[in-house]
Every structure is written in structure tokens, then in C-alpha cells.
Amino acid sequence: MNLKGHIFWSCLIMIILWILIPDITITSILVSIPFTIFPDIDHNFGSHRHFLPHSIILWIIVFIFNPSIITVMIVFGTGLHCLEDIKPRKMKGFALITYWKYKKLFKFKYSSTLWLLINFINSVIILGWWLALK
């Protein structure tokens, strides 16, 4: 998905969540929206769809040291980016998850889709778990 698509769908989904779930604050939405496009920062470092920004690993570490609705929404925003990057018809070439430059992280078919989907599902689980605690 391109930048405009990421911004549009992320804002739409975040606003729907904000309307439906009272525990999600507008501050956490405003902070997390830039993080829904952050994973594509890897374009600037000669790689596309690097596994580290295209996962919730970094933000889980931040969350462990600073648990709050804002860090939970950053984790969810990154997960949302992963969901938006899943395009079943074009999951080849530049769309695959890499570990360095253009070297593929996984060799088997659908592995990049699986990586992105697992990160999205885990971000939803973390958001649900956090909201259930409140």
C-alpha cells in the first residue's frame, strides 16, 4: 500500500476505534497515526519491508518499559501497517519481507504474508488485553 492509502485506512480505523472504545484516548490516536506509516522508513536505508520495522518487536520493548494506552496504540498502529501491507495478489519481489537490503528473510511461499499477519494479530491481542485490564 502507498503512503496515502496507509494514512487514509489507518486514520479511518483509528477514528472508528476511538468512537467505539471509550478507553482509547484521542491523544493515543494522534500519537499512533505517524507510527502507522513509520515502518516504511526502511525505504531510506536501501531496503524495503525490512523485518524489524515491519514487526511490533521494537514497540513491544518500548511498551514493556513504559506500559500505557499510548504505547499500546503505537503497537497497534504498527500492527495495522502490517495488515495494510498484505496484498495477496502482489506478494512477490519488493513486497516480501527482507532482513538486509533485498535479501529475503524467508524462502517459503506466503511466509511474508504470515509474518505481517502474525504481527497484526499480536497487536490486536495486546490492545484487547490492555483494554480488558482497564
| Residue 23, amino acid | D
Choose which of 39, 73, 75, 76 interacts with Zn ion (CB under 5 A).
39
Q: Which of 52, 30, 28 is nearest to 40 (CA)?
A: 52
Nearer to Zn ion, 83 or 85 (CB): 85
Q: Which stretch binds Zn ion (CB under 5 A): 20-28, 39-47, 61-69, 93-101?
A: 39-47
77 is a site residue for Zn ion (CB under 5 A): no
Q: Give strand pairing partners of 103.
A: 100
CA-to-CA dists, residue 32 to 25, 52, 125, angstroms: 11, 18, 17
Least separation in angstroms between residue 82's CB and Zn ion is 8
Least separation in angstroms between residue 23's CB and Zn ion is 28
| Residue 85, amino acid | D
Nearer to Zn ion, 45 or 129 (CB): 45
Q: Which of 82, 55, 66 is nearest to 31 (CA)?
A: 66
Site residues for Zn ion per CB under 5 A? 39-40, 85
